[in-house]
Amino acid sequence: MSNALAIATVTTALAQVVRTAVQSVVPGSDVLTERPNGTPPGGPRVRLFLHQVAPNAALRNNDLPTRGANGNVTTRPTAALDLHYLLAFYGNETELEPQRMLGAAVRDIHAKPVLMRQMIEDAVTSASFLTGSNLADAVEQVKFSPLSLSLEELSKLWSVFFQAPYALSVAYQGTVVLIESEENVSTVLPVLSRGAGDQGVNTVLGPFPSIDRLHIGVPEEIDRRPRPPSHPSAQLGMALTIMGNNLGGEAVTVRFDHARLALSKTIVVPAVNGSATEVTVTIPNDVAAQTQWAAGLYTVVVVVTNGGVDRTTNQLPLSFAPKIVGITPPNPVARDVSGNVTLTVTCVPHVRPAQRVALLIADREVPAETHPADTGSLQFIIEHAPVVTGALVYLRIEGVDSLPFVRQAAPPPPRLVFDDNQKVTIS
């Protein structure tokens, strides 16, 4: 069940889905949650308008009766509603901007027709007036389906917008929103005995914590909504967001266990970075971390402690990539008389002697020279080296490749660019 903010929360969440969709095909476009009233200023726009609210036919009387014979409230009354939305698209007709935005909106709503918990939480975070909305905790999820309107129905709908010219539009229905009354129910009778023989009751532990998925990003974008796409692998200094259920507790830690090495690391989750459905930790990037972590595959579990009892979640795999710090000699690199090139790659974290290491360049996979101790400097001899200019190279450790990009903050907006430290020119 949800409180009175449920309808506004659904509108805000749907607006975020549409905004992400239209901006993917028409940069600079935006979504306005307002009544259609002429062409909006400021470039391509989508007007998202809730034009009708109707009782849900299947659940409208599901909560009856709500009062006892004496008139006292026994269960809180619940209103079951269907929300009818109109999406109107405005833009440059010559470049078919309305049609492009319509196509993107239909595509994404069809692909994600259900408002998931994370989408609702993102919507509540983005708007201060939604503080206190509990739609994310509702059992019944809101689903969107397109409405097929005839020309007559469409003309009647637009006729209610006085002096508003028709714009390319599509209608959707959101069902079902359950709004629960805040009326207090009758006080239950007092407990006269505690179980059979007044011996008390058996305490049953609550549901165990579980994790559903991982998101890898940079610490600067932890609070960004909507959340950017996850990086394919984690690295030192990156932020890891773990999403699941029942992750809150008196103490919460995240444990990383390496798949091939006898290596285990634990990070304590600060209270401000944890909730029942999401915890965020930042992998350290100090001198100690560069020697204590290792590239490769990890398993990730969350340990939740309550009342002195530890509960462990299921495991999810996490690929941990090395980072190339530099390559010597500097570009351009000249081949020797035999056509060979020797490259020294500096990386973090340090590489163990037992780890499988290779350098990928052009069409070659070059194994690293033997290193008897942990090291952050690897040597590769490329026989009959290819002639390349600004070619990206990858450092592969235990099957996990280094990430070829870095985040560039200036000039704004921040964006991902290819890492110059991973480019090699061989002449």
pLDDT band, very low/low/confident/very high, at 240 (cuts 50, 70, 90): very high
Q: What is the mean pLDDT of the chain?
A: 89
Q: Are 202 and 219 within 8 A, CB to CB?
A: no
Token reading at 46: 């989508």
Q: Are 121 and 136 within 8 A, CB to CB?
A: yes
Confidence at residue 252, expressed as pLDDT on a 0 to 100 scale = 95
Domain check: are 348 and 422 in the same one? Answer: yes
190 domain residue, yes or no: no
404 domain residue, yes or no: yes
Q: Sign of the CA dihedral 101, 105, 111, 117? A: positive
Confidence at residue 257, expressed as pLDDT on a 0 to 100 scale = 96
Domain check: are 101 and 244 in the same one? Answer: no
In angstroms, rounded to a whole number, what is the distance separating the alpha carbons of residues 287 and 302?
25
Q: Model confidence over 45-93: pLDDT tens digits?
A: 999 999 999 999 888 777 666 666 666 666 777 889 999 999 999 999 9
Closest by alpha carbon to 170, among 189, 152, 150, 146?
146
Percent helix / strand / coil, the chain, rounded to 5: 20, 40, 45
pLDDT band, very low/low/confident/very high, at 290 (cuts 50, 70, 90): very high
Question: Residue 314 class from Cβ within 10 Å (0-12 exposed, 13-18 middle, 19+ buried)?
Answer: middle
Using the 8-state DSSP alphabet, how is residue 114 labeled? B
Q: Which domain holds residue 365?
A: 323-426
Which of residues 320, 352, 368 is at a domain's end? 320
Domain check: are 163 and 37 in the same one? Answer: yes
Domain check: are 16 and 146 in the same one? Answer: yes
Domain check: are 240 and 222 in the same one? Answer: yes
pLDDT band, very low/low/confident/very high, at 40 (cuts 50, 70, 90): confident
Q: Model confidence over 81-118: pLDDT tens digits?
A: 999 999 999 999 999 999 999 999 999 999 999 999 99
195 domain residue, yes or no: no
Domain check: are 217 and 251 in the same one? Answer: yes
Confidence at residue 161, expressed as pLDDT on a 0 to 100 scale = 80
Domain check: are 309 and 352 in the same one? Answer: no
Q: Exposed e or buried b for every residue in 372-387, given b needs 16+ CB within 10 A?
A: eeeebebebebeebee
Find where tokens 């259609």 sit: 36
Helix (H), strand (E), coil (C) string for 269-314:
CCHHHECCCEEEEECCCCHHHHHHCCCEEEEEEEEEEECCEEEECC
Domain check: are 361 and 347 in the same one? Answer: yes
Which of residues 270, 301, 320 is at a domain's end? 320
Domain check: are 330 and 313 in the same one? Answer: no
Domain count for the chain: 3
Confidence at residue 199, expressed as pLDDT on a 0 to 100 scale = 67
Phi, psi (deg, nearest 5) at residue 233: -145, 155
185 domain residue, yes or no: no
156 domain residue, yes or no: yes
26 domain residue, yes or no: yes
Q: Are 94 and 100 within 8 A, CB to CB?
A: no
Query: Measuring CA to CA, how many Å separate 333 from each of 336, 379, 383?
Result: 10, 14, 13
Token reading at 260: 């091939």
202 domain residue, yes or no: no
Q: Are 265 and 240 within 8 A, CB to CB?
A: no
Domain check: are 97 and 112 in the same one? Answer: yes
- Computed on alpha carbons and rounded to an integer, the radius of gyration of the chain in Å comes to 29
H or E segment and range at residue 3: none
Identify the CATH number of the domain in which residue 367 sits.
2.60.40
In angstroms, rounded to a whole number, what is the distance separating the alpha carbons of residues 16 and 185?
36
In angstroms, rounded to a whole number, what is the distance separating the alpha carbons of residues 87 and 209?
40
Identify the CATH number of the domain in which residue 267 sits.
2.60.40.10
Domain check: are 17 and 165 in the same one? Answer: yes
**22's torsion region: left (phi>0), alpha (psi -120 to 50) or beta?**
alpha
Domain check: are 81 and 99 in the same one? Answer: yes
Which of residues 162, 180, 198 is at a domain's end? 180
H or E segment and range at residue 74: none
